[in-house]
Structure 1
Amino acid sequence: MEAQQFREFGRAAIDLLADYVENIRDREVLPSVEPGYLVNALPEQAPEQPEGWQDILKDFNQSILPGITHWQSPRFHAFYPTGTSFASIVGSILSDGLAVIGFSWMSSPACTELEVVTMNWLGKLLGLPEEFLNCSSGPGGGVIQGSASEATLVGLLVAKEKTVRKLVREDPTLDEDQIKPKLVAYTSDQCNSSVEKAGLLGSMKMRLLKADADGRLRGETLKRAFDEDRAQGLIPCYVIANLGTTGTCAFDPLYELGPICNEADVWLHVDAAYAGAAFICPEYRHLMKGIEHADSVDVNAHKWMNVSFDCSVMWVKNGYDLIRAFDVQRIYLDDVKTDIKIPDYRHWQIPLGRRFRALKLWMVLRIYGAEGLRNHIREQIDLAQYFAKLVRSDERFLVEPEPSMGLVCFRLKDGEIVTRKLLENLTNKKKIFMVAGTYRDRYVIRFVVCYRLTTKEDIDYSWKQIKDEADILCTDKVHMKPQIAAIDTLVGREVCEKSK
């Protein structure tokens, strides 16, 4: 493809995406395809000869789009937002076009330095302590990881290496192969699945500690777990606190967990993947009270800040901890030596290579400005509160717990079986998309405001779908109320437990 064809293809693709965004409400949020639809539709072999971009774009419309779950639909209320914006798309295009691999300063100076700048900008906007920033006098700094999953695993691996090194230094007779099997990580039973997976990937036992009735991991629970494990000869090594749990967006009290970790010299990582973006609004910063006790903090800019996946921003108090854990030298990786504090980001991550992800973050921060991003988050929280008000206006429903950020959890008062059937029927009709969660051992439906351009009219539309389906279910239930009540009593708890 020559430059002129690229211009034509690129313009057509940009027009397609702009039209897609403008007309997203015309599409059902879930696709009407069966497993294997695309495997059967496309040729079994790659084309032998080049094909024209016009034909490729035609096939994209006819074959690819019908199989898309529309995460950017205002009727997509599942999981949490996966953000994007025109500003971020342009940043991604420029990054792909430059095609640099920024593992060191010399491999692309702007790639490294723009990341330093944007991570300092964003850290200040979130109100992080200065010691986490590259512009501080200490060894702290920020780095863009691919996902919160990667950030959690990076923290675990660094904590493991640091703990082993410390113990061997204190007692040179110790064998690190004997130490590692005794190391233990801790988190809440409300954690994201990626946290538990980090324990598997990092070969470290991960204890899921019981959260309190509001979904928070308390300090006394963590301290008790430390004491129990030490009594068995195990070694506390790593704690992952949640600021915004996946199920109900609960906030662990860092002011309780932090001092316990600091006293025990245990690495504290803060997973604030979704809700952390709200800290750019000063009125929500009380939720991260105690953040100064953390060793690392991670926020997914690609969730709530209009940045396209992948862009997970991670800050650490001491970048040397990462370097000591991940530094592998080769002559071809020798770089420019300087007195200026510029990180060698290949030591701050799992892969060697890295894309120029700072470009899309830089674009979004400049196009929206801090105030634009604050307004975006505040508006989405207001929309969630509006939805909660609609649900509460219907006496058949119960909102619980209290809405948190852009998340509202609700259920039908008639029981878990009927609530589960409500979600199943709504999913089958493909007009809106939500997923389930649990709260105090009860099955609930999670409703999240995800799309950056969601309006009150969109919320009204989604609520009408929910209310209309509830009308059908509750009418049917009148004729079989005794049977369903019995089912709820016998197996409702089992269904709830399985939903975990």
Structure 2
Amino acid sequence: MNNVIKKDLENYSQILDEIKKYSTEYLARIDKVKTSHTDQDVDLEPLGKAGLGTSRTLEYFNEKFRKLIVSSAGPRYWGYVVGGVTPAALAGDWLTSVFDQNTQTTQGHGDISAILEKQTIRLITELFELPDIFNGGFVSGATMSNFTGLAVGRQWAGAQIGKDIAREGMTNEIIVLAATPHSSVIKSLSMLGFGSNNVIKVDTLPGREAIDLYILEQKLIEYSGKPIIVICSAGTVNTVDFDNLSAIENLKEKYNFWMHVDAAFGGFAACSADYKHLIKGWEHADSITIDCHKWMNVPYDSAVFLTRKEHSKLQVQTFQNSNAPYLGDPLENFSYLNFLPENSRRFRALPAWFSLVAYGKEGFCSIVENSIDCAKFFGACLDAHESFELTAPVRLNVVCFRLKEKEKTSLFLDVLNKTGEVFMTPTVLHNELCIRAAFVNYLTTREDVSTVIEEMTKVLEVL
């Protein structure tokens, strides 16, 4: 055995203690860590012949790179939709690496991880008060979750016209309808062979990002006789707008189509008694996307797909590993190997399982409602400020706004982000540039919002 590796093995306990100390110190001051760094220049040295060992490598990392790590898991990182990491999630994630399971089968040939993953899916459906009609699994993020659900939808659509697409290849006969699909949906459709330009956009309601149901029905009539996939938004990325899922389900009873619901973070509205009406009807979906490294506050990467149990045969047709006969009949012997895109995969369910068991329904309700409260407080502060204006109502946990002097919006955001006190992202809404702040981190408080408002006022003074 290599001497450096041997020494590391002999000092395992010391190494883990060092990492624990290092991690604890970082987390204790995460609210002080900058949200962005303008200077990313580092000297990248070539691979050495002899390794440094873990302890010296940690020192080297701390000297060269630590200062450039941003607090994306901190309370004032409001860019994209980035959650934090709860203590329970961190514990589960650490153990995920310790156990290093390749989660596959529940048939007794391997470890317990696949059984625990199925239980975690059940706990998630219970958290969302969904009926026990869904299978599911963990993937890397919303892109692969959307990919998985839409891949099964593609197989279903092929079956409507007598094609096994997984075996025979893609057809151009499938119609895909959507109003405000997320970029990950478009990417998934591209990877699945639909072609990103072939999504038929359905008009939205005036001033909204939600689908116009009348126009949707006209499209369903127009393409009657063809297999159709309808992509629904349960929380658009800009304004957290929701399609009327109950009404779409009524159309589904009248017209035959696959109903895919992208609820990457909006699905967590189900945790709040005041907002769960927004996702009413999603229980009728054929497939659902949920991100865990957003509002669930587990570490990257983690997402869940849900598909109706009645589609299990289609799912296995889509993903079965036909080159592994020793695994048995995939319909009789369940294995995630035949149920989702990846063959090798880490035990992603464990951080989510720890979180669900540790905090329960009440814990996640408090996280969701705190985020919504912070978003509405931020929106109210902006609305009352003489220099800002909201560009959309604060429906849930995202705030879109701009400067009243519109031409200064981009410069303002650039200067604000460079302070390192907060991070937000630009976006385009109704063809106009604006700023977007997303609240999903469990650590964020109203005090953080007040701090950011003060910083924004300072930036205005130097523009």
After TM superposition, the score normalised by the length of structure 1 is: 0.83
The equivalent of 2:121 in structure 1 is: 119
C-alpha displacement at 1:258, in angstroms? Answer: 2.5
In 2, Cα distance between the equivalents of 1:291 and 1:377?
A: 19
Alignment of 1:79-478 (within 5 A): 79-105=80-106, 106-132=108-134, 141-168=135-162, 180-188=171-179, 190-204=180-194, 205-212=198-205, 213-229=207-223, 235-318=226-309, 319-331=312-324, 333-334=326-327, 343-414=334-405, 416-473=406-463
Are the aligned partners of 1:412 and 1:419 in contact in 2 as well (CA < 8 Å)?
Answer: yes
Partner amino acid, structure 2, of 1:358: A
Question: For each residue in 1:207-243, what CA deviation from the matched residue of structure 2 results, as whole angstroms up to 9, or x when unmatched?
Answer: 233322211012222223334445xxx9343222111
- Give the gaps of 5 or more residues in structure 1: 133-140, 474-500
Structure 1 residues 32, 5: CA separation in 2 closer, same or farther (over 3 Å shift)?
farther
Instruction: Give the secondary structure class of the aligned counterpart of 1:426.
Output: helix
Structure 1 residues 255, 7: CA separation in 2 closer, same or farther (over 3 Å shift)?
same
Structure 1 residues 54, 185: CA separation in 2 closer, same or farther (over 3 Å shift)?
same
The equivalent of 2:77 in structure 1 is: 76
Are the aligned partners of 2:120 and 2:349 in contact in 1 as well (CA < 8 Å)?
Answer: yes
Partner amino acid, structure 2, of 1:469: V
C-alpha displacement at 1:50, in angstroms? Answer: 2.6
Partner amino acid, structure 2, of 1:270: V
Structure 1 residues 238, 336: CA separation in 2 closer, same or farther (over 3 Å shift)?
closer
Structure 1 residues 383, 179: CA separation in 2 closer, same or farther (over 3 Å shift)?
closer
In 2, Cα distance between the equivalents of 1:33 and 1:423?
A: 17
C-alpha displacement at 1:22, in angstroms? Answer: 1.0
In 2, Cα distance between the equivalents of 1:293 and 1:373?
A: 23
Are the aligned partners of 1:82 and 1:309 in contact in 2 as well (CA < 8 Å)?
Answer: no
- Give the gaps of 5 or more residues in structure 2: none
In 2, Cα distance between the equivalents of 1:294 and 1:274?
A: 16
Question: For each residue in 1:164-221, what CA deviation from the matched residue of structure 2 results, as whole angstroms up to 9, or x when unmatched?
Answer: 223127xx9x9x9697122222222x32211111111111132233322211012222
Structure 1 residues 426, 107: CA separation in 2 closer, same or farther (over 3 Å shift)?
farther
In 1, Cα distance between the equivalents of 2:169 and 2:294?
A: 40
Structure 1 residues 42, 238: CA separation in 2 closer, same or farther (over 3 Å shift)?
same
Structure 1 residues 423, 333: CA separation in 2 closer, same or farther (over 3 Å shift)?
farther
Structure 1 residues 395, 159: CA separation in 2 closer, same or farther (over 3 Å shift)?
same
After TM superposition, the score normalised by the length of structure 2 is: 0.90
Partner amino acid, structure 1, of 2:39: V
Question: For each residue in 1:425-463, what CA deviation from the matched residue of structure 2 results, as whole angstroms up to 9, or x when unmatched?
Answer: 212333321112233333221122243212222111111
In 1, Cα distance between the equivalents of 2:400 and 2:246?
A: 26
The equivalent of 1:476 in structure 2 is: none
In 2, Cα distance between the equivalents of 1:239 and 1:286?
A: 21
The alignment status of 1:26 with 2:32, answered yes or no, reads yes
The equivalent of 2:48 in structure 1 is: 47
Instruction: Give the secondary structure class of the aligned counterpart of 1:381.
Output: helix
In 2, Cα distance between the equivalents of 1:372 and 1:206?
A: 39
Structure 1 residues 402, 112: CA separation in 2 closer, same or farther (over 3 Å shift)?
same
In 1, Cα distance between the equivalents of 2:362 and 2:129?
A: 15
Partner amino acid, structure 1, of 2:52: E
In 2, Cα distance between the equivalents of 1:287 and 1:358?
A: 26
**Could you tell me the percent identity over the aligned residues?**
24
C-alpha displacement at 1:273, in angstroms? Answer: 0.6
Question: For each residue in 1:262-299, what CA deviation from the matched residue of structure 2 results, as whole angstroms up to 9, or x when unmatched?
Answer: 43322111111112123122322211122133101121
Q: Which moved more, 1:298-307 or 1:2-11?
A: 2-11
In 1, Cα distance between the equivalents of 2:31 and 2:298?
A: 21
Instruction: Give the secondary structure class of the aligned counterpart of 1:102.
Output: coil
In 2, Cα distance between the equivalents of 1:301 and 1:118?
A: 12
Are the aligned partners of 1:262 and 1:293 in contact in 2 as well (CA < 8 Å)?
Answer: no
In 2, Cα distance between the equivalents of 1:368 and 1:96?
A: 22
Partner amino acid, structure 2, of 1:110: I
Query: How many residues end up aligned between the 2 structures?
Result: 449
Structure 1 residues 128, 152: CA separation in 2 closer, same or farther (over 3 Å shift)?
same
Structure 1 residues 323, 431: CA separation in 2 closer, same or farther (over 3 Å shift)?
same
In 2, Cα distance between the equivalents of 1:257 and 1:282?
A: 22
Instruction: Give the secondary structure class of the aligned counterpart of 2:293.
Output: helix
Are the aligned partners of 1:95 and 1:355 in contact in 2 as well (CA < 8 Å)?
Answer: yes
Instruction: Give the secondary structure class of the aligned counterpart of 2:230.
Output: strand
Structure 1 residues 337, 239: CA separation in 2 closer, same or farther (over 3 Å shift)?
closer
- C-alpha RMSD of matched pairs (Å): 2.5
In 1, Cα distance between the equivalents of 2:33 and 2:152?
A: 45
Are the aligned partners of 1:249 and 1:407 in contact in 2 as well (CA < 8 Å)?
Answer: yes
Partner amino acid, structure 2, of 1:428: K
In 1, Cα distance between the equivalents of 2:443 and 2:318?
A: 42
In 1, Cα distance between the equivalents of 2:376 and 2:136?
A: 33
In 1, Cα distance between the equivalents of 2:67 and 2:252?
A: 49
